[in-house]
């Protein structure tokens, strides 16, 4: 498992990668709410969520959220 966090004045990017068994994201779309919930919560913050995975090749989740300046 690898975690990478990059924060600038304008955005936060979190990338989570594993070298596990992976999966077909299209085949699991209807089997649960986890991925849909992640997309929805990041979208509520004005950000983006990306998922890359293939069977037998692990998975990568990338969250990018804009940061607002402090008042």
CB contact at 8 A, 39 and 49: yes
CB contact at 8 A, 62 and 14: yes
CA distance 25 to 53: 7
Number of H helices, E strands in the chain: 2, 4
pTM of the model: 0.83
CB contact at 8 A, 22 and 57: yes
The predicted structure's pLDDT at residue 71: 63
User: What percentage of the chain exceeds 90 in pLDDT?
Assistant: 68
pLDDT averaged per 10 residues, the chain (length 71): 96 96 75 86 96 92 89 63
The predicted structure's pLDDT at residue 18: 95
CA distance 53 to 1: 14
The predicted structure's pLDDT at residue 29: 55
């Amino acid at each position: 498992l690898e975690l990478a966090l990059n924060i600038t004045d304008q955005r936060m990017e979190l990338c989570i990668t594993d070298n596990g068994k992976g999966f077909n994201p299209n085949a699991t779309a209807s089997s649960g709410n986890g991925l849909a919930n992640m997309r929805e919560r990041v979208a509520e913050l004005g950000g983006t969520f990306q998922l890359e995975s293939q069977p037998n090749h692990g998975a990568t989740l990338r969250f990018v959220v804009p940061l607002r300046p402090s008042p």
